[in-house]
């Protein structure tokens, strides 16, 4: 009987959360049993099967379906709020800035705030920043921080593909492991969405993008040596195998992102091809984001010769410095 009640509750919770989405299935879900890895499902019944098999623990569903991902349409704002004391301030900001009354889920360890919104597809937006930035991802991150006055979980980096929402009446594994009861660990509805998708045109997102663009240009303005650019371009053509980790981290990553101004995705592809997939994609992503965030520029030949003579010798032996 208890399992029947849990099944009924999780089905209600799934139906409830689906009402906040524009599109239905297929969608991604994750559970304790999938080790929180995303699995694509094609129906509510298939999603429920996964939730039941996981004993209703850590049941999540993607905030965005294939339609939103394909059209780059972030039609929902998600805020992961670990600081429970910041809830009232955050809700006040939602009301003040976009006239929004979002859904609030109590996840026991914090609150999940879900606000469906009106927004155009960003896939055809003619922004110069689109060459550099993943605009939909930047919007989701900006909205989360702006509407929570930066009280959100700053370790959370929502994107159309990664944003997962806990299903009401599922259980939080972390709370259970802390020795809390199932009632205490249950994801519950704190307050409901008013059913209105507010317009977000008043959010200063374009100003934020322009600021990022200016910062990006400022970081790369210092690099003007034509000879040094030529030596790195030669490295990209020669494929040096010795010292590849340092060439990857100190030369290619900062050069592609902060000098050539390629997107992270374009830079990742070039590096994967150059090193023939011998450097893990995760390591490449981490380093590209790090050099972009910190504005790191590639080694100059002079600095390399002084600070890393071994790497300089590798570059010299490769023949790329020959006229």
On whether the CB atoms of residues 21 and 65 are closer than 8 A, the answer is yes
Domain ranges of the chain: 2-206, 222-318
139-181: pLDDT as tens digits = 999 999 999 999 998 777 788 999 999 999 999 999 999 999 9
pLDDT at residue 240, as a whole number: 87
Could you please state the CATH topology (level 3) that the domain comprising 2-206 is classified under. Answer: Alpha-Beta Plaits (3.30.70)
pLDDT at residue 218, as a whole number: 60
Q: Is the peptide bond before 47 cis (omega within 30 degrees of 0)?
A: no
278-289: pLDDT as tens digits = 999 999 999 998
Mean pLDDT of 298-316: 87
Residue 237, SS3 per DSSP = helix
Evaluate if residue 90 carries a pLDDT over 50: yes
Q: What is the pTM of this model?
A: 0.68
CA distance linking residue 147 with residue 152, whole number of Å:
9
What mean pLDDT value characterizes the chain?
A: 88
Buried/exposed code over 269-300 (b: 16+ C-beta within 10 A; e: otherwise): eebeebbeeebeeeebeebbeebbeeebbbbe
Q: Which of 255, 268, 258 is nearest to 294 (CA)?
A: 258
> In which residue are the tokens 């002084």 written?
306
């Amino acid at each position: 009987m208890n399992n029947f009640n849990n099944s009924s509750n999780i089905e209600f919770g799934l139906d409830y959360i689906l009402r906040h989405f524009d599109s239905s299935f297929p969608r991604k879900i994750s559970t304790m049993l999938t080790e929180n890895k995303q699995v694509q499902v094609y129906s509510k019944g298939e999603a429920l099967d996964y939730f039941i098999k996981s004993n209703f623990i850590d049941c999540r569903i993607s905030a965005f379906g294939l339609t939103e991902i394909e059209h780059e349409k972030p039609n929902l704002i998600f805020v992961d709020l670990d600081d429970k004391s910041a809830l009232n301030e955050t809700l006040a900001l939602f009301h003040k800035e976009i006239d929004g009354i979002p859904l609030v889920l109590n996840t026991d360890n914090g609150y999940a705030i879900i606000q469906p919104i009106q927004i155009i597809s960003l896939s055809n937006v003619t922004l110069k920043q689109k060459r550099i930035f993943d605009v939909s991802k930047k919007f989701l991150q900006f909205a989360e921080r702006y509407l929570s006055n930066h009280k959100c979980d700053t370790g959370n980096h929502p994107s159309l593909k990664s944003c997962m929402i806990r299903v009401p009446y599922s259980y939080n594994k972390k709370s259970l492991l802390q020795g809390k009861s199932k009632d205490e660990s249950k994801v519950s509805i704190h307050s409901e969405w008013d059913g209105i998708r507010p317009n977000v045109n008043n959010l200063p997102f374009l100003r934020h993008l322009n600021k990022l663009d200016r910062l990006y240009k400022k970081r790369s303005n210092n690099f003007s040596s034509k000879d040094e650019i030529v030596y790195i371009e030669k490295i990209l053509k020669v494929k040096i195998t010795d010292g590849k980790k340092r060439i990857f981290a100190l030369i290619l990553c900062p050069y592609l992102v902060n000098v050539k101004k390629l997107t992270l995705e374009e830079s990742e592809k070039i590096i994967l091809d150059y090193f023939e997939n011998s450097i893990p994609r995760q390591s490449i992503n981490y380093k590209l984001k790090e050099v972009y965030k910190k504005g790191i520029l590639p080694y100059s030949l002079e600095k390399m010769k002084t600070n890393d003579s071994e790497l300089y010798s590798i570059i010299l032996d490769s023949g790329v410095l020959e006229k």
